Copies of this chain bind each other. A is one copy, B any other.
Amino acid sequence: MTVSATIDHLKNLKNKILSYTEVDEDLLNHWLGYYKRIDVKKGDTLISPGQMVEHFYYVAKGCIYYYKLEEGEQKVLEFYTEDIFFTDLPAYVKETPSDYYLKASENTVVYAILKTDGENSFKKSHQLERFGRLSMQEAFMKIFTRVERLSNRTNEERYLRLLEKRPDLLQRVPQYLIASYLGLTPVGLSKIRKRISISQ
């Protein structure tokens, strides 16, 4: 059961990589060989502040949220769900201790590749280097839309936009994390929800 799930996960990961650029079959299989599976239980933490971040991750199943504690407050930056790559990129790139948490909001399966294995492969293979560039570009685009959303729009519009774009999130993640993601208090979000429900 777990093994057949793993096979499925790796097949998805393979397709994900191929969606960026062509990679020769053996090279890709060799790359996949570096990944190790990590099961993260609901509420468990993958990375905490002070830790070094040595892996790049892929979510096969579940949801990891990325947040920081700011004067005791959770500030959620992003939610990572099925079929996406993530890590704490600042700590990963600079090789300094993390300032963030990466925590599972539900039972989650991720696959992790060591930075050293990844970088060595990039150095050896142009195809993999290209995959690296294009996936980094995608990460940029994703965070860019976040900046756009944050700097434009009202809180209400941003909430409605989130409802539309990622309706699953509001089912699977507690509302106070959504509030934090939108830069609000739970009370503030509740007021917005009320305002919306009245005006319809």
Residues of A within 8 A of B (CB): 68, 70, 75, 77, 89-90, 93, 122, 126, 129-130, 132-133, 136-137, 139-141, 143-144, 146-148, 150-152, 183
Contacts and interface: CB of A to CB of B under 8 A. Distances in A.
A47 B48 CA distance: 42
Nearest to A130: B129
Main secondary structure of the interface of A (DSSP, over half): helix
A75 B183 CA distance: 19
Contact of A146 (B68, B70, B147, B152): B147
A151 B143 CA distance: 13
Contact of A137 (B93, B143, B183): B93
11 contacts: A70-B152, A75-B152, A77-B148, A89-B144, A93-B137, A122-B133, A129-B133, A130-B133, A133-B136, A139-B140, A150-B183
